[in-house]
Amino acid sequence: MRHCKVVYFVRHGEGFHNVAGKKDYSQYKRWDLEDAHLTDHGWEQAHALQKHIAQLPDPLNIEAVIVSPLSRALQTAVGAFGGGSCQHGDSDKTLMVAQDGIHEKQVQHDAVSSAGCPPFVAWEYCREHLGLHPCDRRGKVSVLQKTYPAVDFSLIETEEDELWKPDSRETHDQIRARGAAFIKWLLARPERCLAVVSHSSFLFYLMQNFGHQASTTVQGELRRWYENCEMRTVVICDGGGESGGLDPLWFPGGHNLKAHGSDT
């Protein structure tokens, strides 16, 4: 097991852009859906996932939650992996501040505590398909930090979203390459068990990079389109042979993993 990582990949819950886009795909270009938030149903999905995880016979033992910095992914991560409602005077333990309701934009929600939660880390590499659709444009980091005080945004380098372009869209090959870079970054982290909260297109093209030698059944399960708030468990194993240590190509952070490893 010291040569493996277990990753729980989660797609965000239903967003306002999903509702509009299902009716008419052109609605994805609406500017009032910029950095789309979860609907009431999306929040219900996130809380249902949290309840499902709590009822599992064995704990997931997640050591870190890696999350896209788009609001719907952050809200899903908070709803699924966050703590309970914040009590008065617990501002230093706030994972998400209270949300006011804004018609067809934002759902009212109580503040959520970070007590008992793993660290949350926002990272640009697991964002949704970049370009053209305003719903996929990130908000300002300073605003996100105030909304999610316990989330680590230190890896995001620019205040404004400089990755999203209004007149061009990321190609599928570019998403696959970004996905490969994301997995390499994930493997270099010291944790052996992580959750990743991301988006449908990114997860779909990310998974196309892997499993080529698996059966068609396994490939179909790995690469199937994610539904809203669906979670899948993926085990990533070192393919470097019996070298006695972690292959640096597969596990660049292997020296950090050894201390947490087990020979059983």
Please report the domains of the chain, with CATH numbers, ordered by start residue.
4-260 (3.40.50.1240)
Strands 94-96 and 151-152: unpaired
Local structure of 202: helix, strand or coil: helix
Q: Please provide the distance, in angstroms rounded to a whole number, between the alpha carbons at the two ends of the chain.
A: 8
Six-digit token pair at 49? 């996932």
Q: Report whether 12 contacts 42 (CB < 8 A).
A: yes
Report whether pLDDT(2) > 90. no
d(CA 198, CA 207): 13
Per cent of the chain over pLDDT 70 is 87
Strands 94-96 and 112-113: antiparallel
Active-site positions read 12, 128
Per-residue pLDDT at 49: 97
pLDDT tens for 99-147 read 999 988 999 999 999 988 999 999 999 999 999 999 999 999 999 999 9
pLDDT tens for 204-258 read 999 998 888 888 898 888 899 999 999 999 998 866 555 444 445 444 444 333 3
